[in-house]
Amino acid sequence: MKQARQQLLRLCQSTNYGHTQDLVIKDSEPVLDPGAVVLLDIKLDAEERPRPELDNADFLLCAEAIRLMTLLDQITNGKVSKLEVRGGVPRIIFEHRISELEEGRRDERRHSEVACREAGWI
Domain range summary for the chain, segments of one domain joined by +: 3-96
Burial class (CB in 10 A: 0-12, 13-18, 19+), 60: exposed
What's the confidence (pLDDT) of residue 117?
A: 57
Is this prediction's pTM over 0.95?
A: no
Q: For residue range 13-64, what is the model confidence (pLDDT) as tens digits?
A: 999 999 999 888 999 999 988 767 899 998 888 888 888 787 788 878 889 9
> Using 50, 70 and 90 to split pLDDT, how confident is the model at 5?
very high
Task: List % helix, strand, coil for the chain (3-state, nearest 5).
Answer: 45, 30, 30
- Say whether pLDDT at 111 is over 70: no
| 19 close to 25: Cβ distance less than 8 angstroms | no
What's the confidence (pLDDT) of residue 58?
A: 82
d(CA 11, CA 15): 6
Q: For residue range 88-105, what is the model confidence (pLDDT) as tens digits?
A: 999 888 766 555 545 555
